Protein backbone atom coordinates (compact mmCIF):
# COMPACT_ATOMS: atom_id res chain seq x y z
CA UNK A 1 0.00 0.00 0.00
CA UNK A 2 1.34 3.36 -1.01
CA UNK A 3 1.39 5.71 1.97
CA UNK A 4 2.29 9.05 0.45
CA UNK A 5 1.39 10.69 -2.83
CA UNK A 6 3.12 13.44 -4.76
CA UNK A 7 0.50 16.18 -4.54
CA UNK A 8 3.11 18.69 -5.73
CA UNK A 9 2.46 17.34 -9.22
CA UNK A 10 -1.12 18.66 -9.07
CA UNK A 11 -1.35 22.02 -10.87
CA UNK A 12 -3.35 24.63 -8.96
CA UNK A 13 -4.87 26.28 -12.01
CA UNK A 14 -6.02 23.05 -13.71
CA UNK A 15 -9.27 21.13 -13.41
CA UNK A 16 -9.02 17.34 -13.07
CA UNK A 17 -11.39 14.48 -13.69
CA UNK A 18 -11.17 11.50 -11.34
CA UNK A 19 -9.33 9.55 -14.07
CA UNK A 20 -6.73 12.23 -14.82
CA UNK A 21 -6.06 12.85 -11.12
CA UNK A 22 -5.70 9.11 -10.49
CA UNK A 23 -3.25 8.77 -13.39
CA UNK A 24 -1.23 11.79 -12.21
CA UNK A 25 -0.85 10.44 -8.67
CA UNK A 26 -0.38 6.83 -9.74
CA UNK A 27 -3.45 5.52 -7.90
CA UNK A 28 -6.61 3.70 -8.93
CA UNK A 29 -9.71 5.72 -9.76
CA UNK A 30 -11.45 3.98 -6.84
CA UNK A 31 -8.85 5.48 -4.49
CA UNK A 32 -9.74 9.00 -5.62
CA UNK A 33 -13.46 8.17 -5.27
CA UNK A 34 -12.81 6.85 -1.75
CA UNK A 35 -11.02 10.10 -0.86
CA UNK A 36 -13.99 12.04 -2.16
CA UNK A 37 -16.49 9.96 -0.18
CA UNK A 38 -14.62 9.64 3.10
CA UNK A 39 -12.12 12.43 3.44
CA UNK A 40 -13.80 15.73 2.58
CA UNK A 41 -12.10 16.02 -0.78
CA UNK A 42 -15.67 16.94 -1.84
CA UNK A 43 -14.78 20.60 -1.21
CA UNK A 44 -12.74 20.36 -4.40
CA UNK A 45 -15.65 19.30 -6.62
CA UNK A 46 -17.21 21.69 -9.11
CA UNK A 47 -20.85 21.12 -8.21
CA UNK A 48 -23.26 19.28 -10.48
CA UNK A 49 -20.61 18.55 -13.10
CA UNK A 50 -20.58 15.29 -15.08
CA UNK A 51 -18.00 13.91 -15.25
CA UNK A 52 -16.93 15.05 -11.78
CA UNK A 53 -14.43 17.92 -12.06
CA UNK A 54 -11.96 18.57 -9.24
CA UNK A 55 -10.25 21.92 -8.75
CA UNK A 56 -6.47 21.55 -8.79
CA UNK A 57 -5.92 24.23 -6.15
CA UNK A 58 -8.21 22.53 -3.63
CA UNK A 59 -6.94 19.04 -4.38
CA UNK A 60 -3.39 20.28 -3.85
CA UNK A 61 -4.27 22.03 -0.57
CA UNK A 62 -6.15 18.95 0.70
CA UNK A 63 -3.35 16.59 -0.31
CA UNK A 64 -0.48 18.53 1.22
CA UNK A 65 -2.45 19.09 4.46
CA UNK A 66 -3.20 15.35 4.58
CA UNK A 67 0.47 14.47 4.12
CA UNK A 68 1.54 17.00 6.75
CA UNK A 69 -0.95 15.56 9.28
CA UNK A 70 0.53 12.07 8.80
CA UNK A 71 4.10 13.17 9.56
CA UNK A 72 5.61 11.83 12.77
CA UNK A 73 8.61 13.97 13.69
CA UNK A 74 11.31 12.25 15.71
CA UNK A 75 12.07 13.57 19.19
CA UNK A 76 15.62 13.96 20.43
CA UNK A 77 17.38 10.58 20.34
CA UNK A 78 14.80 8.90 18.11
CA UNK A 79 15.01 7.50 14.57
CA UNK A 80 11.94 6.58 12.52
CA UNK A 81 11.42 2.80 12.37
CA UNK A 82 9.75 1.71 9.12
CA UNK A 83 8.67 -1.63 10.62
CA UNK A 84 7.07 -0.15 13.77
CA UNK A 85 5.90 2.87 11.71
CA UNK A 86 6.77 5.25 14.54
CA UNK A 87 9.87 7.04 15.88
CA UNK A 88 11.88 4.77 18.20
CA UNK A 89 15.01 4.89 20.34
CA UNK A 90 17.90 2.62 19.42
CA UNK A 91 19.40 0.05 21.76
CA UNK A 92 22.40 1.75 23.39
CA UNK A 93 24.66 -1.28 22.83
CA UNK A 94 23.84 -1.32 19.08
CA UNK A 95 24.93 2.28 18.44
CA UNK A 96 27.46 2.60 15.62
CA UNK A 97 28.72 5.43 13.41
CA UNK A 98 29.79 4.56 9.88
CA UNK A 99 31.62 7.18 7.84
CA UNK A 100 32.07 6.04 4.22
CA UNK A 101 33.73 9.28 3.06
CA UNK A 102 34.62 12.85 4.08
CA UNK A 103 31.19 14.32 3.43
CA UNK A 104 28.70 11.96 5.06
CA UNK A 105 28.18 9.58 7.93
CA UNK A 106 25.46 7.26 9.13
CA UNK A 107 24.30 6.54 12.65
CA UNK A 108 23.20 2.91 12.86
CA UNK A 109 21.39 1.12 15.64
CA UNK A 110 18.77 -1.51 16.32
CA UNK A 111 15.20 -0.53 17.07
CA UNK A 112 14.46 -0.94 20.78
CA UNK A 113 11.27 -2.91 19.98
CA UNK A 114 11.71 -4.87 16.73
CA UNK A 115 15.54 -5.12 16.26
CA UNK A 116 15.38 -3.63 12.75
CA UNK A 117 18.54 -1.68 11.88
CA UNK A 118 17.71 2.03 11.83
CA UNK A 119 19.80 4.58 9.94
CA UNK A 120 20.12 8.29 10.51
CA UNK A 121 22.17 10.13 7.93
CA UNK A 122 24.25 13.10 8.91
CA UNK A 123 27.28 15.21 8.33
CA UNK A 124 30.72 14.63 9.87
CA UNK A 125 30.47 18.22 11.12
CA UNK A 126 27.63 17.10 13.41
CA UNK A 127 29.36 13.95 14.59
CA UNK A 128 29.78 15.02 18.22
CA UNK A 129 26.13 16.07 18.44
CA UNK A 130 24.99 12.75 16.93
CA UNK A 131 27.17 10.78 19.36
CA UNK A 132 25.70 12.72 22.27
CA UNK A 133 22.17 12.17 20.95
CA UNK A 134 22.24 8.47 20.11
CA UNK A 135 24.32 6.69 22.68
CA UNK A 136 27.63 5.61 24.11
CA UNK A 137 30.69 6.32 22.04
CA UNK A 138 31.98 3.36 20.08
CA UNK A 139 34.79 3.07 17.53
CA UNK A 140 33.86 3.36 13.82
CA UNK A 141 35.21 -0.07 13.08
CA UNK A 142 34.90 -2.59 15.92
CA UNK A 143 37.44 -4.88 14.22
CA UNK A 144 40.21 -2.25 14.31
Q: Which parts of this chain interact with Zn ion (CB under 5 A)?
A: 81, 83-84, 111, 113-114, 116
Phi/psi for 126 (5° steps) reads -100, 15
The candidate with the shortest Cα–Cα distance to 122, out of 141, 138, 106, is 106
Closest approach, Cβ 55 to Zn ion, in A, equals 40
Instruction: Select 28 or 115, whichever has its Cβ closest to Zn ion.
Output: 115
Instruction: Select 15 or 87, whichever has its Cβ closest to Zn ion.
Output: 87
Closest approach, Cβ 4 to Zn ion, in A, equals 19
- Between CA 107 and CA 55 the distance in angstroms is 43
Closest approach, Cβ 142 to Zn ion, in A, equals 23
Amino acid sequence: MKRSYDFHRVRSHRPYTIATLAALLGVDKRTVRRWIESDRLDVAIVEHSRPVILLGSKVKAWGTARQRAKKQPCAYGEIYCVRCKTPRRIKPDSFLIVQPNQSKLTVKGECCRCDLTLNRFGSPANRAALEAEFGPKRPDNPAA
